[in-house]
Structure 1
Amino acid sequence: MSRDFIFPHSRLVRGHETYYTARLGGQDLILCAYDPHQPPVARQHLQDATTTTQTGSFALALYPATYENVLAFDRHVAPRRGLVALTQEAGLRHGLGTGNRVIITEADGAGLAAPSALGVFPGIFRAVAEAEAPNWFIQQSIVRELIPEGVDPAHHPGLGHTGGYGPRQLLRSGLFAFISLGGYHRYRHPIGADADHAIVTGDDEASLEASLALNQTALRESRDYTKFTVDTSRLFDFPHTLSAAEEARLREVFQGRTWEVPNVLPDRPGFTYTFDEAEILRLGRKYWVACRVHRQLYDFIAGLKAGEPFDYELSLDETPAPTPPREYLFYLVMLEEVMGLPRGGVVSSAPNFGFQKRADYAGDPRRDLWPLVNEAASIAAAFDQVVCFHSGSGLGVETGKGPGVDQVLAEATGGRLMLKVSGIYQEILWRVLAASPEPAEQALFARAWEETHRVTRLLALIYEALIAGRSEAEARALLADEDRIAQAARAWGDPDEAVRLVRQTLGYGPHQAVLAHQLLPAADPQRRRADDDFFRHFAYLVFRPLRADLYATMTAEGWERYAAAVQRYTAMRLRDLGLGRAGDRGA
């Protein structure tokens, strides 16, 4: 089988220069054919040509598709920039964020059975291009799914479960895929790159500072992204005693004021909010540190971007319960008028609507969800923001977050919405492998199922030993002790592997171990299914160890089956959310 492939849709002509992307001998390349007797048009912006062939009026240069070269291609070779801040630059206030966990990095090329593979990107691209829908084409959690290059993996065993690469490699791989798929002439819009979920945590000032340092390292490596999503919801109720000056500022901003918020839907009544002194001080204490950190990281990112436009999203969604709308408004007012974050600096925000990861919405969409979404969308619009829905993947691949949910989101927001999906694209891959006509691909699914079952047994053991019957504070203290984790996992296997797996899982919260305890009894090793609940929830933990074998096994036909399934799912979400042509709107 040939290890060489030229991506046909990548063809781009600039004057006498013709460009293609290719994978030759396992290396990602940018090819440039040109007339050596003519002055350069754009190729001077690319670096480190590995081969230059010249015959008369024809020359061919091969440039490595490095991080620097794909960025230079987008900024200087392409006829227009493909990578921009979709809201601040392109004026787009709706769209879909697609988390990309199945990535072909520079290091993966040599091990591919199919040199044409571009991971998850082809299926996403086909769907958003056909629908002409705005898309954050590149998106992963930069301190959970990714691991920054500037940190020691030994000190952060819970990071990097998608493959052990960092923000720069994700951006490189996504841009290489966009160029290879013909993004500059086959897609109406530019794309965004979301440095997603910079999650700041801490129980005291020391742990908060350590978390800030980690996130700043990740953000620094993400400086060329166009959107930054920061989550400080784990700092709600962080211990803080308000000073007299802070209390006075809160009273000055909130006391005696009434906020009249128009409904985002013109034919519906608006909303009115007032706060008494006790509530002002209670909410001020609850949110002070979380808002302070938002201002700190917003300024940090603005410094990194050095005047270049960027989109900033604040996340409030990783909390145990839905965000009360009046507290959502209080939070946004506090950010602007107390902390001084500029109006228009935040383009989108994501309250908690009761969505759980990989689960359908549990309530009645019209009775319970519609009013909450409509009020939140109205508040966001009053601050010149768009409401964003996180944890957008549901129970399966047929109905998003459950029957009728996407339609309710579109209707209640008047189409001013953004939504993010991520884990579902790995789940689709396992489903494709389980149903594959290729025995080798079926065998990969069987291995993944068995490994996930083994890992879920570990998490269930951890629940029984360190969580069951204890308060949240007691459980968190025990889970922070690696010796206790290793001791609890002694009957399971390798203690070092156990610590790493528990760290990876608990990055999403201790409830993951509770879920393992609840779901494991239904697993049937004699009847392995890709839609088994325990497998759907925890297969992400075994993706990285199986990644090399998976890429060495999947054929071009297997990748095409995956692309078709990803396209079907993404197109369904775009249609039901009314995004792109389905929503019949422009910017």
Structure 2
Amino acid sequence: MNTQTLLAYVSTHDLFHSPLDQTRRFEGAIDQGVYLASLRRQGKSLFFVYRDEAAFKKIVIKVSQDANDFADFPGIVEQADGYAIARSDETPELAAFLRKAFPWTAPKSLKGKDATIGTGDRLGLANPAHIRAVRDYDIFPVLAQQSIRELNFTKRTYQEVVDAATFAVFQEGYEDGFGFDGDHLKNIPDIEMALRCGATMITLDLSEVMNAKAAQWSDADLAAAYANVPADERQRLERAYLAAPITLNDGSSLSFDAVELHRCCVMYLEAIRFVKQVYDLLVERRGAGNFDFEMSIDETDAPTVPQHHLFIIQELTHLGVVVDSLAPRFIGEFQKAIDYIGDLSEFERQFAVHCQIAKTYDNYKVSIHSGSDKFSAYPAIGKWTNGRLHVKTAGTSWLEAVRTIAIKEPALYRQIHQVALENYPEALKFYHITADFSKIPALDSLSDADLPHYLVQAESRQLIHIIYGFVAQDAALREQFYRALFTHEETHYQLVRDHLRKHVTLLGRPKKSM
């Protein structure tokens, strides 16, 4: 949009004086390249996001009636017809400006929010669709959510992740807030990095500090390891867990025998001490109550039985650690990008106990990791949590991006699929899936019109899910991929919105009252 066209647009729509069109703001409407939902007035200035078709990018434009009102806005200021105008690419400097000028574009805590969902925008492109999926529902989004593994695969940084969320929020005019989760962090340096970038939530992954192998140890081996616990600590533990069953607030109870206590101590005590160290660091950096703290014990082979969950939360409480949410490893399989695998009735029975433990100990949230597409389990999850839960998704939005390519750019999809076939053995080192890839139809056996079938079949969904890093790290393929999603942006947004909204509604989340 050149200067004269821009000023003509502002004048024709009388954007400095007339009410902004509320009826179209939340529908993703674009008028002459202007994202209408992004239009904002502040003092004598007007701001909006503009879609630059020729350059395959978006820019933020500021128009002001005051030439001196540009001290912090990044961009070269020009004068025309009594207005001052500046344009800025979506840069870190612009993101910092937006978070200061429009505080609702900065992440905030999940405190006071019962139902929350981490949407995990791996590409930095899907968050407008995530906003459209949730904005009418009683569920709070964590738009900025990435693990170190995902950052390494996509070659992105936490600053880029939160900046992308800021730009999406501004583009969509979304003022209801969002969170920023440093997800599945395992060490102090990575936690410090996430905090420096403004993370409001830290998810501590204990998979490398807990002794998961002890789940399979013999009684004798467990007893020998337990003997290394100091005597006074053993006495406290035995009084706490062996003297009597522990009653939950619904009147049910859980009991420990000596072997199970030994197993819990050997598996978790060292990890719990690490949790205390991290929690104290967060209190030091942010102050008590000024961050969201999640514990993750889901990245293990053995399910977290209810007694283990109870042991962990009681020991954390003993140390003064307050968790906002905890992610057990549930019975059955919560594999990436497909529905729940296992006995749903047994899952529901155990899940109900996990929820009761959480309600008994300060009503923290039960967190469901690898929550993407677990549609058959969602009704039970919504029921037993009473809507107080956290669900994490990420890969499902990536797959909807690939579905967009399969529909709109079949030749490009074929390139991506071939990359998947060539690289999945390496990708399997990082993801636990049990798909039989031999069931996937050969690429040359499907017509272009049939390519979206790959995003329906469970085996090919998992194949495509785990190779996103190989697409992101191939410079030429990445550029084609991003350009295609820019070109077909509305299709991409619709697919992601509709798919994520299915998650929200199956969890039983109601629409917001208007």
User: TM over 0.5, yes or no?
Assistant: yes
Structure 2 partner of 1:94: 115
2:101 to 77, 82, 94: 77
Residue 286 of structure 1: how far off its partner (Å): 1.3
Change (3 A) 1:32 1:249: farther
Q: Deviations over 1:211-234 (max 9, x none)?
A: x25534543444x02111111034
Q: Sort the Cα spacing of 1:59 and 1:432 in 2 relative to 1 into closer, same or farther, 3 A.
A: closer
Q: How does 1:42-57 map to 2 (within 5 A)?
A: 46=72, 49-54=74-79
Out of 231, 237, 248, which is 1:261 matched to? Answer: 248
Residues 307 and 330 from structure 1, CA distance in 2 versus in 1: closer, same or farther, beyond 3 angstroms?
closer
How far the C-alpha of 1:261 sits from its partner, in A, is 1.2
Contact 1:358–1:423 (8 Å) recurs in 2: yes
- In 1, distance between residues paired with 2:89 and 2:479? 22
Tell me the residue number matched to 2:61: 31
Q: Would you say the 8 A contact 1:131–1:571 is kept in 2?
A: no
CA 1:523 to 1:77, structure 2 compared with 1: closer, same or farther past 3 Å? Answer: same
Query: In the superposition, relative to structure 1, how do residues 59 and 280 fare at CA in structure 2: closer, same or farther (>3 Å)?
Result: same
- Match for 2:338: what amino acid? A
Contact 1:134 1:580 in 2 (8 A): no
2:471 to 538, 543, 552: 543
Give CA-to-partner distance per residue, 1:464-511, whole Å, 9 cap, x none: xxxxxxxxxxxxxxxxxxxxxxxxxxxxxxxxxxxxxx3x54233xx4
1:228 aligns to 2:208 (yes or no) = no
- Cα distance in 2 between the residues matched to 1:357 and 1:554: 23
What is the correspondence of 1:108-257 to structure 2 with a 5 Å cutoff? 119-141=125-147, 143-146=148-151, 160-161=152-153, 163-184=154-175, 189-198=176-185, 200=186, 212=187, 215-216=190-191, 218-222=193-197, 224-237=198-211, 241-251=228-238, 253-256=240-243
Gaps spanning 5+ residues in structure 2: where? 3-31, 215-224, 447-452
Q: Is the 8 A contact 2:182 2:191 kept in 1?
A: no
* 8 Å CA contact retained: 1:82, 1:183: no
Q: Which residue, 13, 26, 35 being the options, matches 1:7?
A: 35
Deviations 1:279-328 (A, max 9, x none): 33331121012112212222233333356711111111112132111110
Once residues 44 and 252 of structure 2 are traced to their aligned partners in structure 1, the CA distance between those partners, rounded to angstroms, is: 60
CA contact 2:67–2:84 (8 Å) conserved in 1: no
- 2:509 aligned with 1:579: yes
Looking at structure 1, the residues matched to 341 and 104 of structure 2 have their Cα atoms a distance apart, in angstroms, of 44
Q: Deviations over 1:17-57 (max 9, x none)?
A: 2222346656765433233278x5xx65x35x321123575
- Give the 3 Å change call, closer, same or farther, for CA 294–79 of structure 1 in structure 2: closer
Alignment identity in percent?
24
Contact in 2 for aligned 1:317/1:352 (Cα 8 Å) = yes
1:463 corresponding residue in structure 2: none
1:409 Cα offset (Å):
1.3
Unmatched segments (≥5 aa) in structure 1 = 104-118, 147-159, 201-211, 264-269, 394-399, 460-501
TM-score normalised per structure 1 = 0.70
Q: Map of 1:312-461 to 2, 5 A cutoff?
A: 312-337=293-318, 339-341=319-321, 345-353=322-330, 354=332, 355-365=334-344, 367-384=345-362, 385-393=364-372, 400-403=373-376, 405-436=377-408, 441-456=409-424, 459=425
> What secondary structure, in the 3-state scheme, does the structure 1 residue paired with 2:204 have?
strand
Change (3 A) 1:534 1:52: same
Q: Deviations over 1:239-266 (max 9, x none)?
A: 9742335434434544535432124xxx
* Pair 1:297 & 2:278 matched: yes
Classify the secondary structure of the residue corresponding to 2:144: strand
Secondary structure of the corresponding residue to residue 131 of structure 1: coil
Does 2:92 align with 1:60?
A: no
Distance 1:293 1:22, change over 3 A: farther
The answer to whether the Cα contact below 8 Å between 2:210 and 2:270 also exists between their aligned partners in 1 is yes
Q: Which has the higher contact order (CA 8 A, sep 6+)?
A: 1
Residues 97 and 135 in structure 1, CA contact (< 8 A), matched pair in contact too: yes
AA aligned to 1:370 is: E
Amino acid at match of 1:567: R
| Alpha carbons 2:338, 2:458 under 8 Å: kept | no
Separation in 1 of the partners of 2:104 and 2:192?
30
How many residues align structurally?
Answer: 454
CA contact (8 A) 2:105 2:170 kept: no
In 2 relative to 1, CA 181–81 (structure 1 residues): closer, same or farther, beyond 3 Å? Answer: closer
Q: Does the CA-based 8 Å contact 2:115-2:138 persist in structure 1?
A: no
Question: Could you say what secondary structure the match of 1:9 adopts?
Answer: helix
**Kept in 1: contact 2:114–2:387 (CA 8 A):** no
Residues of 1 paired with 2:306 and 2:139: CA distance?
A: 29
